[in-house]
Amino acid sequence: MVSRERVIHSSNVGGEKRSVLVGIPVYNSEKTITSCLEKVLNQAQSSCYIQNVLVVASGCTDNTVELVKRKQSVDARLLLLEEGTRRGKASALNKIFEFFNTHPYDYLVVTNGDTKLDGAAVDRLIEHAEHTGARLVCGSPKPSTHPVSRLNSIYEFIWELHNLFLEVGSKLEKPHCTDELMCFSSDVSWRIPSEVVNDGAYFSVLLAVKGEKRGYCSQAIVGVSVPKTVSGLIKQRSRIVLGHVLLKERFGVTSDTFESTVILKPKLAIDVLAHQVIKRGLICFIKTTAIEGISLFVAMIRYMFGSEPWIWERVEYAEADT
Please tell me the predicted confidence (pLDDT) of residue 12.
38
pLDDT digits (tens, 9 = 90+) for 19-52: 999 999 999 999 999 999 999 999 988 989 999 9
CA distances to 128, 187, 204, 205, 207 from 210, in Å: 20, 14, 10, 9, 5
Please tell me the predicted confidence (pLDDT) of residue 260.
57
In angstroms, the CA 170 to CA 204 distance is 12
User: Which residue numbers in the chain have pLDDT < 50?
Assistant: 4-5, 9-15
pTM of this prediction? 0.86
The class that CATH gives domain 4-318 is alpha beta
Q: Please answer whether residues 60 and 26 qualify as being in contact, where contact means their C-beta atoms are separated by less than 8 angstroms.
A: yes
Residue ranges covered by each domain of the chain? 4-318
Q: Which residues, at least 6 apart from 303, have a Cβ–Cβ distance to it below 8 Å?
A: 242, 245, 246
Angle at 117 between CA 18 and CA 257, to 5 degrees: 95
Please tell me the predicted confidence (pLDDT) of residue 182.
96
Please tell me the predicted confidence (pLDDT) of residue 263.
56
Please tell me the predicted confidence (pLDDT) of residue 174.
64
Please tell me the predicted confidence (pLDDT) of residue 9.
46
Please tell me the predicted confidence (pLDDT) of residue 317.
62
